[in-house]
Structure 1
Amino acid sequence: MFKYFSSRALRWMQTLIFAINEINQRTDLLPQLKLGFHIRDSCDDISASLRAALLLVNGQPEIGTRAERVNRDKSQERNVSSNLGCAAATNTISPVIIGDAASGVPLALLSSFHIPLVSYCASCGCLSNQRDIPTFMRTISSDTFQMRALAQLVSYFGWTWVGVIGMESDYARFAIQLFLQESEQYGVCAAYTHFYPVVLSQQALDELLDVIQMSSSKVIINFCSDSEMKWILKEVLRRNITGLQWIASEAWTTSKTLWDEFGGLLTGTLGFAFKGVDVIPGLMQHLMSLKQSSIHKSAFVAEFWEELFNCRLNGSVNSHSHGGDNYLDRLPCKGNEDLNDVYTIYLDVTQLRVSYNVYKAVYLVAHALQDMSNCIDGQGPLPNGMCADPNNVKPWQLLHYMKRAHFSTLGEKVIFDQNGDPTAYYDLLNLQRMPDGSLQMVKVGFYDASSPPGRSLVINDSVIQWPVGKQASRSVCSDSCPPGSSIARRKGEPICCFDCVPCAEGEVSNTTDSLECSRCSENTWPNKGRDLCIPKTIEFLSYHELIGSVLCFVSVLGACISLSILAILFTYKDTPLVRANNMELSFLLLVFLAVCFLVGLLFIGEPTDWLCRIRYPAFGISFALCISCLLAKTVVVLMAFRSTLPGSNVMKWFGPNQQRASVLLGTAVQVIICVIWLLTSPPHANNNTTNSATIIIECVTGSEVGFWCVLGYIGILACMCFLMAFLARKLPDNFNEAKFITVSMLIFFTVWITFIPVYVSTAGKYTVAVHIFAILASAFGLLFSIFAPKCYVIILKPEKNSKKNMLQKIKSKCAAK
């Protein structure tokens, strides 16, 4: 595996040198001290990083010539030193280390030596553990905040089904773990989580791309560096996979090399980049100050020069570091090479992010030394608060001041938290193709961890350019459940995979993806969409609806017919037909029937407690009066016939007074039942809200025993009346109302026997309607069965309404016997 030279890393190194030179030239910062430095190459390798760091903290001198060190160390160890103001250049212990760029955990072992370590690019959240790594600080934000930002980003666009991939490294593993934890609270699920090796073989690429292609998720978050991303994109291009929405980690968000080579695949990519500056005054001039005459002073610069101009410096032996090309075949450098003649990322200062973090890291050390120099006894890190000597700096003493440092640089306030992390701020960038065809990373939002909860992420949707179409693609495992339904989890699948179940009767959900439906209150009911509780419909048998109007009309009509027949009979009260059929009881019966018809009106309209307490007793007593009258009439007919027999004086025991008394006595029993009912558990109005979209205002009987006793007593009277009428069936027609009473009782029994099951099985206003119908039907049955024949004779056959005709019929009847 060959390591290629990084021009970006050289720019970072030069930024460090520039910042140190700038501080050494200032009179307001460390006027009595000069900063020096010793730079070693980590070669992007953990073992090389550790070796270089240990050499720095142990103060080991370098042994042998540069050529000998190169041949000895396969990690290509290179260094450059400047120890301005230092006593010795080769054996001075470094009190602080700035670097490196990687998030490798092993480097944190330097905490065992109590050496402050300031990283400008190691963002792994694992490095914020001050208990295990107390000497670590950094000028880049912790990935903990970036993962929160990413979780909010995917949630903002409704992406609940995302693919998460990353290379096998501490950085990617900790980042993915944090992202999955943060995204869970937003209902975001990982369609897959896949790790691939740092060295991507074809087999590893095939496995990764197979996972991506087989998944339904089109949104992919990748935690890697630009070098790994490059190989992945090459395979994506080879397989012609399109329509992917890439979400970049900050490690490759701003990689210009990726834009230039794979712009067509990455257009629309979103990613966070830590805060940078547009310009560091004087840095460009410092970067351009490289001349061939001075590049031999630094192995880094020499190798950069040879790589950039594809030439060989006199006396250079860097053939091992050029990826295996024939370095010795290169032409010698001419000496007139100029940085202005070529493009190099080394001079690209359009987006100074990592370089700015290096710049801040140097100033962190400088301000810590400044605070140490300005220390007042009693506030220092030594016992009894004594101050440290800035001319003899101990690493742990410097760390004491670094932890407390706060300063401003290039207009930004730099503050560190208890974990040694700066305040997190990220720019949200979107790779867009400009009208001229060029590609640019455009800022479309930002994440500020210092903002109040819920307002930390700000996105300008209108300026985002998407990979496909003009809006964000959909990436969900299951479509959202609309209001009126709830989520039903699928067993064994992620929480983002679910079914939508309509809310049960009486329940609503008014939000999308509701976890459960809520039950409406007793007085409300779901609307048709089951997303809103609306007031229940008030239901009772009203005069204003058709069935109520019809029953009201029939009740009044029945009363009018009863009173009309009463008027007819009263008009012809002196005729034999009327006199022969117990005129007084007939008049009473017609009045009571009219009352029965009018009682039906008490069952129409909105029930109240008083109305309920009146309607049931009125119904029971009115029918008791009617049946009692019929019973008295039947008894009178029987007694009248028997009184015509020789020696019989029965009628003297059942005269008019006894007839009235029997009616009153028969009704009195019903009155007593009703009084007991009203005193113990009277009927009352009730709002019935049980499992219905309506509030049924109804009269409840209070005591079921009382209600059925009232009906039962009416039934007993009707049975007695029917028995008497049956016994009088063979009496002469002139005196015989028995057959009409028999018919009326049969109708009465039919109506009320049918009434009972229908009454029990219906509900609401229809129960009341059935009750009224039974009252009207039975009343009409009594009215027409008994009085229709009489009215027929009186009005249409007046010649038959004579004493002679009646006596003739009686004689013929007796003769037949």
Structure 2
Amino acid sequence: MVGTSTPRVSIRFCVFVCVCVHMCIVSAPNDGSNCRLISASLSLPVLEKNGDIILGGLFSLHDTVVEPSLSFTAMPAPTQCTRFNFRTFRWMQTMIFAIEEINRDGTLLPNITLGYKIYDSCSTPHHALKAAMELLGNEKGREVAGFSGSVCHGTVPVVIGDGGSTQSLVVARILGVFHIPQVSYFSSCACLSDKNEFPAFLRTMPSDFFQVDALVQLVKHFGWTWVGVIAGDDAYGRGGANIFADEVDYNFLGACVALHEIIPKNRAQDAISSIISNIRNSRARIILVFALEQDAEALFDEVLRTGLTGIQWLASEAWSTATVLSTPRKYHNILQGSMGFAIRHAEIPGLQTFLHRLNPKNTDNHADPFLVSFWEEMFQCSLAVPAEGQKNNSQGKPPCTGAEELKSITNIYSDVSQLRISYNVYKAVYAIIHALKAMRSCVKGKGPFLLQSCPDLQNVQPWQLLHYIKHVVYSTTIGDEIKFDENGDPVAMYDLVNWQFRGNEGIEFVIIGKFDETNTALNQKLQIQEQNILWNGNQTKVPLSVCSSICPPGTRKAIRPNFPICCHDCVVCAAGEISNQTECERCLPEFWSNDERTACIPKQVEFLSFTDSMGITLLVISLFGSFSTCVVIVIFSCHRSTPIVRANNSELSFLLLISLTLCFLCSLTFIGQPSKWSCMLRHTAFGITFVLCISCILGKTIVVLIAFKATLPGSGVMKWFGPAQQKAIIILCTLVQAVICTVWLTVDPPSPHRLMPRESALVILLCDEGSYVAFGLVLGYIGLLACLCLFLAFLARKLPDNFNEARLITFSMLIFCAVWVAFVPAYISSPGKYSTVTEVFAILASSYGLLCCIFAPKCYIILLRPEKNTKKYLMTRTG
């Protein structure tokens, strides 16, 4: 509904009707031109001065209101305003000073005298509303002239005020119905920038949109990520705090609102005590108080009572330079170091002298209904004459002597060193005057209104004055350009002030930076001199405010479930990852994280080397095997003439022993850092030497089998399997493997390969087989020859002989085949260098199997049972 025009018209019409019903009655049944107040006795005290043009004013001269009891049987007594505010009284006097200065000057509006009509709104919306209604009446406050049934116009064409946003919201709705311009000097609520709802509202106070923008940039500048917000229970506090919370949550990534509390208007101690408890529990060190100075005072009283310390307070503009908080010494310890934005201050020449002119005995001040309260509060005396026989009045105050002088007292009223809101009042008056001057300068036939007409300055219409105020542009005496944007807001410029304790001199507001919204560069709007800042506790180091501590190097943030994004746990990065304190990043494949998870270091290179325990073990086993084979060769050489050596072709036995030696030695090529040549050598050497070895065994098996099968005398079978044929078989079988290896090395040879698993801290150096087909053919060909040997030896295992070598070959081939059958799955499943270890172990195991099964029994007979090493014994057939 808010976004449509019809409801707004209805709301305005209802407001108009309510105003007229509550404000006036029709005195003549047939004439609706006059309205009359129901009761003039309910009129509020007013400070007024006649003039050709009357300026209305609303100031909250009192902070609270005591409501009368309602009996509903008699007219209620007037409400009583209490707690006189000297600061606001100075603002009101500044308005009067500006008006009288203009009247004395006479150059801006010659031959026109300005008057004023000022009410006390008592810091409450209903008082502000009642004062606004009275401003709509004539100078006597009893009749409203010009009521035509649609609009009630009074003699006040413009209103300056109110100070509080809550009061201005109420007043702006009333004045907006009649298009009476309202220029506020201290209402900063961003909601008042809505021209659809408040068409006649303008202000010399920047909108809270800009203040919140400045506060968010301040929080961002110092890196605070855990900030509490406490707001007053009014339009100013709630509106500003909500905008700040939204800006932090949605536009400032990484920061969060730790708590969001409201100071109740009744300032109940238990409610404020709960706020203090929540501050403690939140562990936030930075707390923004977006509230009026009265609400902030109630909060800090409770802070003192509960002993809360160590908080860096951020002040909204409403109390960032409040003397009511900076003057009492009781607040110095907790507020020292506070920081906040304040509108720019200025000097107004002659204002202090004007402020000191007041005196209740001066006849010029007799018409001031607020002077008595001011004087009595200022000097803590009573202007009322005490009863006979009493020294003091009924309130216990001594009578005023009449010799009091404002010059003798230094307080917030006469302090003109920090004129900020007073300067806003001063600018508001001059903005209206320059608008009136522009109206007077209008040239007939070139006016801005219908038919290019000009306004009549003798009968100023509020809606016409509103048009000119919206377009006013002028410069103050200190060079500030004053104008309003399309929302009725001025240019936002703030001073960043720091509360610094100066010993006996008390708190000093030190300007440590500024915020200029006109600076279009985002990073240059806020300028801070950090070296001039003193933080809470008289510290020079920027306070830290975080929900969770910064994660140490080597860890990452892990968001806690159901907690704000600023709250996290620190989790150690996984192996192979390093952290940049927000998240873990995996190292490149050839790098690994150090133990602290702070840097990526090159991975350790792993391969089967001669220096590690596994490599040394295999080296020893390999050398022992080759040495054992050489020992067998020596034994056979020394006993080469014995029958057991000469049986079954001693040349094949020596060739087999040499090939076994090469088999033992080729395993050494698998140890050490892989290179291009070592990778090609290890696989080809292994393939050829083993084929040579198996070919020798195949030749011996064929000889055994044929020898015992050729039983017929004179059979010529053996001539086809003589020594030459056996050598041919060996050469042919070995040549086939050589051809396979040659093609393998030509097409896709084995080559070094760096295996870099992401889950390992090692770079594994291996020999990639290249062509898996060729590697399979090499192993398959060895397996084929081994199976053929096993088959032939199996056929000859029961041939009668005291020493049947076929049995030995059968056992050796069984071991050989078992080893290599087990090798295939073990090789595939072994990780890293252990696949190479598996292959070496298979080579050594099969070589030891052949050596032990074939040659160990022969060496046993040669060395330990020489009686069996005879031709007779060997030729004896055994069943």
TM-score when normalising by structure 1: 0.80
Report 1:435-450 matches (<5 A): 435-436=503-504, 438-450=506-518
Is 1:653 equivalent to 2:720 in the alignment?
yes
Q: Deviations over 1:513-536 (max 9, x none)?
A: x4xx44555555444344555555
TM-superposed CA distance for 1:99, in Å, is 1.3
For 2:31, the equivalent position in structure 1 comes to none
- After TM superposition, the structure 1 = structure 2 runs for residues 72-111 of structure 1, keeping only pairs within 5 Å, are 93-104=155-166, 105-109=169-173, 110-111=175-176
Q: Is the 8 A contact 2:91 2:425 kept in 1?
A: yes
1:453 aligned to which of 503, 507, 522: 522
Pick which of 567-576 and 421-430 moved more.
567-576
Contact 2:347/2:417, CA 8 A, preserved across alignment: yes
Of 161, 174, 179, which residue of structure 1 is paired with 2:244?
179
Give the distance between the partners of 2:439 and 2:663, measured in 1 at CA: 109
The aligned counterpart of 2:69 is none
Q: Confirm or deny that 1:45 pairs with 2:124.
A: yes
Q: Which amino acid aligns with 2:124?
A: D
How far 1:345 moved relative to its partner? 1.5
Return the alpha-carbon distance in structure 2 between the equivalents of residues 60 and 156 of structure 1. 53
> Within 5 A, what are the aligned runs for 1:144-543?
144-154=209-219, 159-184=224-249, 185-212=252-279, 215-217=282-284, 219-261=286-328, 262-277=330-345, 279-291=347-359, 292-293=361-362, 294-313=364-383, 333-369=400-436, 381-382=448-449, 394-409=461-476, 410-414=478-482, 416-436=484-504, 438-451=506-519, 452-457=521-526, 458=528, 460=530, 463-467=533-537, 475-504=545-574, 507-512=577-582, 514=583, 517-533=584-600, 536-537=603-604, 539-541=606-608
After TM superposition, give the deviation of residue 178 of structure 1 in Å. Answer: 0.9
Aligned residue for 1:466, secondary structure, equals coil
Give 1:446 deviation, angstroms.
4.1
Aligned residues of 1:278 and 1:349 also touching (Cα < 8 A): no
Q: d(CA) in 2 for partners of 1:304 and 1:567?
A: 129
Distance 1:503 1:664, change over 3 A: same
C-alpha contact (below 8 Å) 1:287/1:347 kept by paired residues: yes
Structure 2: how far apart are the matches of 1:536 and 1:703? 28
CA 641–108 in structure 1, closer or farther in 2 if over 3 Å, else same: same
- CA separation of 1:353 and 1:756: change in aligned 2, threshold 3 A: same
1:628 maps to 695
1:496-545 Cα shifts (integer Å, max 9, x gaps):
33333444455544134x4xx44555555444344555555555556787
Q: Distance in 1 between matches of 2:457 and 2:666?
A: 110
Contact 1:503–1:509 (Cα < 8 Å) also in 2? yes
- Structure 1 residue 455 displacement after superposition: 4.9
Shift of residue 359, structure 1, vs aligned partner:
2.3
2:89 is aligned to: 10
Q: Which amino acid aligns with 2:497?
A: L
The CA distance in 1 between the partners of 2:142 and 2:276, in whole Å, is 48
3-state secondary structure, aligned to 1:192: strand
Give the partner amino acid of 2:687.
Answer: G
* Paired residue total: 774
Tell me, in whole angstroms, the C-alpha distance in 1 between the residues paired with 2:676 and 2:95. Answer: 92
What pairs with 1:405-804 in structure 2 (closer than 5 Å)? 405-409=472-476, 410-414=478-482, 416-436=484-504, 438-451=506-519, 452-457=521-526, 458=528, 460=530, 463-467=533-537, 475-504=545-574, 507-512=577-582, 514=583, 517-533=584-600, 536-537=603-604, 539-541=606-608, 579-590=646-657, 592-593=659-660, 595-597=662-664, 599-600=666-667, 603=670, 616=683, 618-640=685-707, 646=713, 648-667=715-734, 687-692=754-759, 693-701=761-769, 707-708=775-776, 710-725=778-793, 737-738=805-806, 741=809, 744-745=812-813, 748-749=816-817, 751-783=819-851, 786=854
Q: 1:202 to 1:734 in 2, by over 3 A?
A: closer
Whole-Å separation in 2 of the counterparts to 1:558 and 1:113 = 115
Which amino acid in 2 is paired with 1:715? G
Q: Shift in Å at residue 101 of structure 1?
A: 0.7
The aligned residue for residue 28 of structure 2 is: none
Task: Mark the CA change 1:762 to 1:414 in structure 2 (over 3 Å): closer, same or farther.
Answer: farther
| Deviation at residue 771 of structure 1 after TM alignment | 1.7
Give how far 1:578 is off.
5.7
How much has 1:415 moved relative to structure 2? 5.3
State the superposition RMSD in angstroms. 4.5
Stretches of structure 2 that go unaligned for 5 or more consecutive residues are 1-65, 67-80, 144-152, 387-391
Q: Is the 8 A contact 2:315 2:341 kept in 1?
A: no
Which deviations, in whole Å up to 9, do the C-alpha atoms of 1:709-740 show, x marking residues without a partner? 54344334334434544665677999765565
CA 193–789 in structure 1, closer or farther in 2 if over 3 Å, else same: same
The 8 Å contact of residues 644 and 870 in structure 2, kept in 1 or not, is answered as: no
Which residue pairs with 1:73 in the alignment?
Answer: none
Aligned 8 A contact 1:151 1:186 in 2: no
Structure 2 match to 1:808: 870
User: What is the CA–CA distance in structure 2 between the aligned matches of 1:619 and 1:469, rounded to whole Å?
Assistant: 78
CA–CA separation in structure 1 for the residues paired with 2:111 and 2:639:
140
Does structure 1 conserve the Cα–Cα contact (< 8 Å) formed by 2:589 and 2:758? no
In 2, the alpha carbon distance for the partners of 1:698 and 1:108 equals 84
State the AA in 2 paired with 1:259: S
Q: TM-score, with normalisation over the residues of structure 2? A: 0.75
Find 1:139's aligned residue among 204, 212, 220.
204
State the SS of the aligned residue for 2:370.
helix
**How far does residue 11 in structure 1 lie from its aligned partner after superposition?**
1.0
Letter in 2 for 1:814: T
The equivalent of 1:62 in structure 2 is: 140
Q: Does 1:119 align with 2:191?
A: no
Preserved contact between residue 515 and residue 525 of structure 2 (Cα < 8 Å): yes
What SS is found at the alignment partner of 1:4? strand
Q: Provide the C-alpha distance between the structure 1 equivalents of 2:426 and 2:374, rounded to a whole number of angstroms.
A: 21
Structure 2 SS opposite 1:346: coil
CA distance in 1, matches of 2:663, 2:157: 111
Counterpart for residue 86 of structure 1? none
CA gap 1:175/1:807 in 2 versus in 1, 3 angstroms? closer
Deviation at 1:355, TM superposition (A): 1.4
